[in-house]
Amino acid sequence: MDYVNALAIITNFILLPGLTYGSQLALGAMGVTLIYAVLRFSNFAHGEIMSFGTMVCILFTWLGQSYGLSLGFLPTAILFIPVAMFFTVLYCLLIEKYVFSYYREKKSNPIIFLIASIGVMFFTAGLIRFIIGPSDQSFNDGVRFIFNVREFKAFTGLNEGFGLKTSQAITFLMTIILCALLFFFLNRTRTGKSMRAFSDNEDLALLSGIDPNKVVLLTWIIAGGLATFAGVLYGLDKIYKPFIFLQMLLPIFSAAIVGGVGNPLGAFFGGYIIALSELFVTFAYKKVLGYILPENLEPSSMMQFLATDYKFSVSFIILVIVLIIKPTGLFNGKTI
């Protein structure tokens, strides 16, 4: 029984939050990695594109709510993700047309793209603050929990328990569906294969008759769509605040690089690796060890590897270790 209690603590404090956060990072990182693979630059504006998508979703949710729209125990925002995706993709295409296409025609160095994307990032951040303001918005109007800790404890009779938030369940479900769709598209469909061919060797792809404009367009559509999902799911689960998307760039890029940049499967697992290690390293194992170890070995200290202040440094450390030991990432992406 003690092992079950320990497992419940780990599930409640590490596994569930870690997997949720990991899913959100994975969706973000897959967008970054796709843009890197096909368009060949690191898009620093990706965090703000996530923010933009979330903002559009929130605005439409408010509109819907003012007409009395509601999904019952599910958050209303889910209904408007497709609308938000549409506007986000539209925004991405506008950026592509007015910023990046110019450099693509000139065949500029990737570093110039990167700097242009930083410009786009600041522009988008300003635009978002202009439209929705800098303060935080809570837009999760559904039922917060599927079951909470107290209900779980009463049901199982355990000392410890875990709760499952509606937003966590939605995140898991959506991530699985989206990833399945994405990998099916990339590996099985003709268009997906043409995208991968373009990513592998641009010249050969052009010679075999792949339309580069179509590939670029598709990449933005997929990346913009994934970014919207990542942002909305993050906002539903936690809170929407324009400022935090700048901070999320580091874990997202870490996730993409750890998995192997340019490799969507790598980005997927990278997200979970980063999120779970952040939590595993900063968690205090006092209670868990108290349940597992024999009575006289119970720890008196907190049994914490790193104070929670150093949470963000974990993604840095992993990034550095991976770049030193295996620069191509765990799933053999490209070297940066």
Partner 1 sequence: MKKLITTLLALCLMNSASFSDVKLGIIIGFTGPIESLAPDMAAGAEAAIDEVNKSGSFSMGNVSVVRADSTCIDSSAATAAAERLITSDKIQGIMGADCSGVTTAILQQVAMANGIAMISPSATSPALSTVEDNNLFFRTAPSDARQGEVIAEVLMEKGLTNVALSYVNNDYGKGLAASFEKNFKAAGGTITLSAPHEDDKGDYSAEAGALAQAGGDILVVAGYLNSGGKGIIQASLDTGGFDQFFLPDGMIGDSLPQDIGPALNGSIGTLPGTDSPGMAKYSDLASAAGFKPGPFSMESYDAAALILLAMEATKSSDSQVYKYAIDEIANAPGEIIYPGELGKALDLLKAGKDIDYVGASAVELVGGGESAGNYAIMEVIDGKNVPVSYK
Encoded tokens for 223: 């990346």
Which 218-277 positions form the footprint of partner 1 (CB under 8 A)?
Answer: 234, 238-239, 241, 243-244, 247-248
Angle at CA of residue 25, ends 41 and 222, nearest 5°: 55
12 binds partner 1 (CB under 8 A): yes
287 binds partner 1 (CB under 8 A): yes
Which 128-187 positions form the footprint of partner 1 (CB under 8 A)?
Answer: 134-136, 138, 144, 148-150, 161-163, 165
CA distance to 29, 115, 273, 282, per residue, from 32 (Å): 5, 15, 16, 27
334 binds partner 1 (CB under 8 A): no
For residues 34 and 252, which CB has a smaller minimum distance to partner 1 in the complex?
252
Please state the φ and ψ torsions of residue 143, each to the nearest 5 degrees.
Answer: -75, 135
For residues 25 and 314, what is the distance between their CA atoms, to the nearest angstrom?
Answer: 15
Residue 142 Cβ vs partner 1, minimum distance, rounded to whole Å: 13
Encoded tokens for 1: 């029984």
Residues 6+ apart with CB under 8 A from 83: 56, 57, 60
Binding range to partner 1, per CB under 8 A, among 59-67, 79-87, 198-206, 282-290: 282-290
For residues 196 and 311, which CB has a smaller minimum distance to partner 1 in the complex?
311
For residues 224 and 251, which CB has a smaller minimum distance to partner 1 in the complex?
251
Specify burial of residue 91 (Cβ count, 10 A radius: 0-12, 13-18, 19+). buried
Q: Match 């760039």 to its residue by tokens.
A: 249
Binding range to partner 1, per CB under 8 A, among 13-21, 61-69, 99-107, 202-210: 13-21
Q: Which of 5, 6, 17, 61 binds partner 1 (CB under 8 A)?
A: 17
Specify burial of residue 321 (Cβ count, 10 A radius: 0-12, 13-18, 19+). exposed
Using CB under 8 A as the criterion, which residues of the chain lie in contact with partner 1 when the complex forms? 9, 12-14, 17, 21, 134-136, 138, 144, 148-150, 161-163, 165, 234, 238-239, 241, 243-244, 247-248, 278-279, 282-288, 302, 304, 307-309, 311
